[in-house]
Amino acid sequence: MEPLTQKKICNVKGLGNLLPDFLKPAIRFLYYSNERRKVFKEYQIRKQQDELISKHYNSRTTRLIVFLVEGADWFTGVDTISGGILSIASIYEETVRLKELHQAEVIMCTYPDAYLMWRFSQFDADITIFRYEQLQDHFKNLDFLLFHSISYRTPHFVKTEIHQNNYFKKIEDFRLNILNQNIQLMPTPEAFDLLKKSCKHLTQTTSHKQYSTQEFKEKYDFPLHYLSVFGSPERYKRTKLDEKENLILLSPDESAQKTELMNALENQFSEFEIKIVKGLRYNEYLSLISRSKIMITLGEGLDFYFIEQVFSGGISIAIYNDEFFPEDFQAKHGLFSSEDELLKEVSTYIRQALEKENYEEINNEQYQLCSKFYKYDEYRENLKRFYSGDYTFK
């Protein structure tokens, strides 16, 4: 989903389209209590960021890698957690560890129109987050600059910040990598036409094997590199069935039949707590899935909800699709062909799966499949290959 930008916030009853740009911040400040809290909070954040950038980064740095992330939520003032941001944080941390390879400083910044924040609050990460405008103010001697930018955010970012900006034109080796974490959120090839004119060294890294192909590379006409994600079995505590609670979880994804599914589960499994995963810090979520028996993910299917439940000793249920799942998963336990089939058959399937012998067999099957595609050593090696320019499809 496209983030709520400041421009959208202004469009109350159409007024935002009528006001000149220089008046919009003042109108927002007067109209929204959220905006007033944002202004006062950001004053302190800016102060911290200005102190920390000089402390952590030499202004004479010549090589820099930048990770761009969404800011805090405009309504709550708190950052949100997702598989995407966890993945970006992991790539950042691994990139820092690979400094000997790429010889660059590594920094994380919010997008120019984002609500400022300087730390993640929903999961543990030793990452200081700066604001985009600090880059040009602080780093004036760059001859190498690489941006990692979220796919759906990139076209607007390039149009408003990169294209025709002399700061970037003066950098001898300027690069931009598109973080393609979900093929369904990847803009059309035409959306990157301006980017191809603004940046000679353009790449994309992918999170799923299924769309890491020569055909997909040719569709976008710039190098593609399969990266994968940080999830791998050794990161999780694999609990046995008799250590788990009567708990069935659902991912927070929207679905036309979600209410009907919830009602069916509550009627068929009165001895279970049926819970939607939301409003939890990452550590709380990990504790929850280690105690739960079943996870039903209604998103892209092969997502963190699916993988992390399996690696925590549970059973995952999803709708199979060939955009995210490798063929190895087809016709395997826990996967349904459609939402209608899932709604019709899931209660019977869960009841059978909860029998101890079946439960262990299903988890073992899913565990072996997920372990085949998600390995930390391969993930780290893929990242090393990216920074070495050894892309999967050149």
Tens of pLDDT, residues 283-317:
999 999 999 999 999 988 999 999 999 999 999 99
How far, in Å, CA of 129 to CA of 121, rounded?
A: 12
Angle in degrees, 0-180, between the axes of helices 304-311 and 83-97, rounded to the nearest 10: 70
pLDDT for residue 38: 64
Residues 6+ apart with CB under 8 A from 165: none
Token pair belonging to 355 = 């029998």
| Residue 331, both tokens | 């016709």
Which tokens hold the place of 202?
Answer: 């353009």
pLDDT value for 33: 59
pLDDT digits (tens, 9 = 90+) for 313-361: 999 999 999 999 999 999 899 999 999 999 999 999 999 999 999 999 9
Please state, in angstroms and rounded to a whole number, the distance separating the CA atoms of residues 306 and 286: 13
Determine the angle formed by the axes of helices 376-387 and 83-97, rounding to 10 degrees.
70
Chain-centre distance of CA 22, in angstroms? 33
Q: Residue 18 has what pLDDT? A: 62
Partnered with residue 107 across adjacent β-strands are: 66
Residue 320 contacts residue 335 (beta carbons within 8 Å): yes
Residues in the chain: 394
In this predicted structure, what is the pLDDT of residue 43?
84
Q: Assess contact for 346 and 260: CB atoms under 8 A.
A: no
Cα gap 306→249, rounded to integer Å: 11
Q: Which residues of the chain have pLDDT under 70?
A: 1-40
The CATH 3.40.50.2000 domain(s) of the chain lie at 233-373
Residues 3-22 pLDDT 10s: 444 444 445 445 556 656 55
d(CA 208, CA 226): 7
pLDDT computed for residue 2 by the predictor: 41
In what helix (H) or strand (E) does residue 83 lie, and over which residues does it extend? helix 83-97
Q: Give the per-residue pLDDT at 29.
A: 59
Is 62-230+379-387 CATH 3.40.50? yes
If residue 352 lies in a helix (H) or strand (E), which one and from where to where? Answer: helix 339-353
Whether domain 233-373 has CATH 3.30.2400.10: no
Q: Where are the beta strands (DSSP E) in the chain?
A: 63-69, 105-110, 129-131, 144-150, 173-180, 201-206, 224-226, 247-250, 273-276, 294-296, 315-319, 335-336
Return d(Cα 44, Cα 378) in angstroms, integer. 41
**Angle, to 10 degrees, between the axis of helix 356-373 and the axis of helix 304-311?**
120
pLDDT of 22 reads: 57
Say which residues have a Cβ less than 8 Å from residue 182's Cβ, sequence separation at least 6.
84, 151, 207, 300
**pTM of the full structure:** 0.88
Q: 3-class SS at 336?
A: strand
3-state secondary structure 242-272: HHCCCEEEECCCCCCCHHHHHHHHHHHCCCC
Burial grade of 390 (CB within 10 A; 0-12, 13-18, 19 or more)? exposed
C-beta pairs of 36-42 under 8 Å, 24+ apart in sequence: 37/77, 38/74, 38/77, 38/115, 41/77, 41/116, 42/115, 42/116
